[in-house]
Amino acid sequence: MQKMKKMREKRRIYLDHASTTPLSARVRRVMAPFFDLSYGNPSAIYKEGVVAKEALREARKTAASVLGARSDEIIFTGSGTEADNLALLGTFEAARKKTPHFITTVIEHPAVLEACRYIEQSGGSVTYLPVDQKGIVRPENVRRALTPKTVLVSVMYVNNEIGTIQPIKEIGRMLRSYRDKEKSRFPYFHTDASQAPNYLPVNVERLSVDLMTLDGSKIYGPKGVGMLYKRRGITLEPVIRGGGQEGGLRSGTENMAAIVGMGAALEEAAATREKESKRLKKLQEYFFSRLNEVLPKAIVNGSRSERVPNNINICIEGLDGEYAVLLLDARGVACSTSSSCRTLGENSSSYVINSLGNGRRCAGSSLRFTMGRGTTRRELDTVLGLLGEVASLGARR
């Protein structure tokens, strides 16, 4: 009995799935043979290589089918960050001599923002679009920022901190007709969809995107693998150069286990999407509905409607967010204050929340809970039960 109680106490409540997810048991099984049984290099021409090449082909086909894309449009990378870099820096490098212009938003992931900073330092220019109070970028702002020099627009599908869903389809359609009108190949449209596949369709045709980033470590797949969808006809320069793997766009011996795992994880995300979204939407609504019972002044950061169902991000005025995370940690709850990925030199307050209307009060006083496949209502009850105490202990003095 004592032991049972101890075990229950020890059980952690993990609510940081936007930071990283555990590996799905099924995905892990699919990956297993590629560590030691089927370890061939797909560049080799003998049997072990052919087997690996076939598995690579299958993983690419699986990934492409989830996106409604063609196999030759899939480039496997070492991370979501690398896929973002390949989209932005690869476009920049191909157009470098023409002092190209880029459009992005102030709420992008550091993988996009730091690539943009490099572009600015290297002779390109970048427009950073604001978001509205709800954390949504307006398509008409994208339209207004376009210049004849614009080569790429990069807008994330789902924000990693506040979970807001950006109007990708609208922006994609607008850019498509802009290109038609201007009779130009540019601008390309890139979206970082790392946080999307568990909850939203990622069909590249329906979204009208030309480049799309995905990340294994956010969809119950392995860490150390990402993917860039690149529409046929789009020209990029590689970021990593060498043996010419991945159509010359990403050199290095293929990480077979991870690539096969990426394909399986994407497939699983698509298969569980509808059911899991409904389940989490209910939990999210439950949390929001009970939040003000516990903390009357707490507010939800970002749109409630245009939001993935697993994201809860709340502002508690006066809270020391980082300290509150540690208080919750000591009570068995893993959550975060902003993203776990920060731009260099930034402090712990959130540039995403700072960009919302109430940013100044909330940037350092917010908590992000991101639910996942294992999250239960009971866990949310526990968190809700802790919030009052945490808000009071964690208040700035």
List residues with catalytic annotation: 341
Phi, psi of 225 (to 5 degrees): -150, 135
In angstroms, rounded to a whole number, what is the distance separating the alpha carbons of residues 355 and 263? 35
Candidate segments 293-301, 303-311, 333-341, 382-390, binder of a second copy by CB under 8 A: 333-341
Total number of residues binding a second copy (CB under 8 A)? 77
Give yes or no for a contact between 238 and 249, defined as CB atoms under 8 angstroms apart: yes
Shortest Å distance, C-beta 176 to a second copy: 28
Q: Is 47 in the site for a second copy (CB under 8 A)?
A: yes
In angstroms, rounded to a whole number, what is the distance separating the alpha carbons of residues 385 and 177? 51
Q: Is 370 in the site for a second copy (CB under 8 A)?
A: no
Name which of residues 223 to 242 contact a second copy (CB under 8 A): 223-226, 239-242
Exactly one of 138, 248, 277, 290 binds a second copy (CB under 8 A); that residue is 248
Exactly one of 69, 75, 202, 328 binds a second copy (CB under 8 A); that residue is 328
Exactly one of 70, 179, 273, 342 binds a second copy (CB under 8 A); that residue is 342
In angstroms, rounded to a whole number, what is the distance separating the alpha carbons of residues 302 and 155? 16
Helices marked H in the chain? 2-10, 25-31, 33-36, 47-67, 80-95, 110-121, 139-145, 168-182, 204-207, 256-294, 321-330, 351-354, 359-362, 377-393
Q: Which is nearer to a second copy, 84 or 267 (CB)?
A: 84
Spell out, one character per residue from 151 to 180, where the chain touches a second copy: x when CB under 8 A holds, - when not.
------------------------------
Exactly one of 43, 65, 203, 354 binds a second copy (CB under 8 A); that residue is 43
- Over 58-104, what HEC string results? HHHHHHHHHHCCCHHHEEEECCHHHHHHHHHHHHHHHHHHHCCEEEE
Residue 152 DSSP symbol:
E
Exactly one of 111, 283, 291, 295 binds a second copy (CB under 8 A); that residue is 111
Name which of residues 295 to 314 contact a second copy (CB under 8 A): none
Candidate segments 17-25, 142-150, 267-275, 353-361, binder of a second copy by CB under 8 A: 17-25
Name which of residues 68 to 87 contact a second copy (CB under 8 A): 77-82, 84-85
Instruction: Pick left, alpha or beta for residue 74 (phi over 0 → left; psi -120 to 50 → alpha; otherwise beta).
Output: beta
Q: Is 10 in the site for a second copy (CB under 8 A)?
A: no
* Residue 67 neighbours by CB under 8 Å, 6+ apart: 73, 74, 202, 203, 204, 212, 229
Residue 277: closest CA among 186, 158, 383, 178: 158
Q: Is 351 in the site for a second copy (CB under 8 A)?
A: no
Q: Is 128 in the site for a second copy (CB under 8 A)?
A: no
Q: Which is nearer to a second copy, 136 or 314 (CB)?
A: 314
Exactly one of 120, 147, 235, 244 binds a second copy (CB under 8 A); that residue is 244
